[in-house]
Amino acid sequence: MFLEQFPVEGRANGWIEVICGSMFSGKTEELIRRIRRAEFANQALLLFKPKIDNRFSDNHVVSHKGSSFEAVIVAASDDILSAWNGEKIIAIDEAQFFDAAIVKVCNHLANQGVRVIVAGLDMDYQGNAFGPMPNLMAAAEYVTKVHAICVSCGNLAHYSQRTVQQTEQVLVGAIEKYRPLCRTCYQQK
């Protein structure tokens, strides 16, 4: 479990936290939990999501469980810096859909004293590293990997099996297109 550790009060330290895992593992739920705590403490924050992710809402990040939080929709990583007005917390959902510049953006914000919280899929449906996520995890001070439950056997799952025939890497969807599997069940697919 992620242990929230804050630098000495009054210092301008920023950092990057990455929440990663498969589909249905609770990444967005954990992201929303962390920003709700910050909101309760009256900390200025912004939540961003990529324009491509319009599954549940056009202007909110919504978890599969139904938790939601208002978000700024951006088409590219650099748009995050354009929208930033000095908030001390920047949260980013579905980071795997952003361009490679997201790593530079997150590092820039952290270097400015911002707590940056990022959530995204670490692997695509073929079990390969997804987009900028490996580089974000390498740059992060804290990485939390969350797991789903395998729908086939009930073990911990960290693969996202695609259940439709499309083969492009980016295919936005939910339970109608994906299901979580453990390593053994994924290998047997």
In this structure, what DSSP letter does residue 135 have? H
Catalytic residue list contains 29 = no
Interatomic CA distance for residues 133 and 17, integer angstroms: 12
Collect contacts of 54-61 with beta carbons under 8 A, ≥24 apart: 54/172, 55/172, 55/173, 55/174, 61/28, 61/31, 61/32, 61/93
Give the active site residue among 9, 94, 141, 176: 94
Residue with structure tokens 């899929």? Answer: 121
Residue 4: phi and psi, rounded to 5, are -75, 120
Interatomic CA distance for residues 35 and 44, integer angstroms: 10
* Spacing of C-alpha 152 from chain mean position: 25
Return the active site residues: 94
